[in-house]
Chain A
């Protein structure tokens, strides 16, 4: 089973700042099948990025994904108030699909 480790656990930033979230895999992610999801309190997760760098429908262009193999990054160029949430990476290249433990982006 692939283990995904996200860092940092919590990111304290102000609106307008840049956020950089990391996701490291215990093994190479096949076909770069790596997704990023956003979860706001009390809501279901929402797909932001798939295939490591492709934005899902409706994802604002301030969100970008990069990386390959075992190291992946989600960047939010300028934080908007609605971006303060928990972010999960997820790999779907090897069964079982697995999620990282999450990074909470909170208002500083």
Chain B
């Protein structure tokens, strides 16, 4: 079955850029949307943004000025970059598949929820 694995540095200095990659195994990255979500220590879930296999993106306005999500279909991976990090960006970062189906003409994607999640990776922002 499809599995996701996040990877990247666990410690990032303030003002630097957080970079994470999510590797998709057991299935193709094609024909789906893929999201990043984070969870600060002891708190709830925050959606960061998503990307389609063709590279279309949608970001949370609260982070939009600092976030870039990209996809590499040849490697079955998608990535997150978050610039100018502060301690408030310390969190467990998850990647997830936005399950759904495309309409016959591939103009609309009908979502079925985030059905596959990575195990999460802890990122601490500290000098």
Binds A, one of B11-19, B23-31, B72-80, B107-115: B107-115
For the complex, give the distance between the alpha carbons of A95 and B64 in Å. 12
> Contacts A44-B94, A45-B94, A92-B111; is A99 near B47 (CB within 8 Å)?
yes
- Which DSSP category, helix, strand, loop or mixed, fits chain B's interface? strand
A56 CB, min distance to chain B CBs, angstroms = 6
A59 CB, min distance to chain B CBs, angstroms = 10
Binds B, one of A19-27, A46-54, A74-82: A46-54
Write out the residue numbers on chain B whose beta carbons fall within 8 Å of the beta carbon of A44: 94, 117-120
Cβ B44 vs Cβ A98 within 8 A:
no
CB neighbors of B among A49-108 (8 A): 49-51, 54, 56-57, 88, 90, 92, 95-102
Interface footprint category on A: 20 to 34
* Nearest B residue (CB) for A1: B61
How many pairs of residues, A versus B, come closer than 8 Å at their CB atoms? 63
Write out the residue numbers on chain A whose beta carbons fall within 8 Å of the beta carbon of B114: 35, 37, 45, 47, 90, 92
Cβ B47 vs Cβ A98 within 8 A:
yes
State the interface size on chain B (CB cutoff 8 A): 23
Partner of A56, one of B58, B115, B119: B115
Write out the residue numbers on chain A whose beta carbons fall within 8 Å of the beta carbon of B120: 44
A4 CB, min distance to chain B CBs, angstroms = 10
For the complex, give the distance between the alpha carbons of A39 and B36 in Å. 16
Write out the residue numbers on chain B whose beta carbons fall within 8 Å of the beta carbon of A96: 47, 58-62
Write out the residue numbers on chain A whose beta carbons fall within 8 Å of the beta carbon of B115: 47, 50, 56-57
Residue of B59, B61, B117, B119 with most partner-chain A CB within 10 A: B117
Residue of B35, B46, B59, B112 with most partner-chain A CB within 10 A: B112
Partner of A102, one of B35, B44, B59: B44
In this assembly, does B45 line the interface, its C-beta being within 8 Å of a C-beta of chain A? yes
Write out the residue numbers on chain A whose beta carbons fall within 8 Å of the beta carbon of B59: 96
* Nearest B residue (CB) for A49: B113
For the complex of A and B, list the 4 residue pairs with the smallest distance between their C-beta atoms, beginning with the closest.
A50-B113, A44-B117, A97-B47, A35-B113
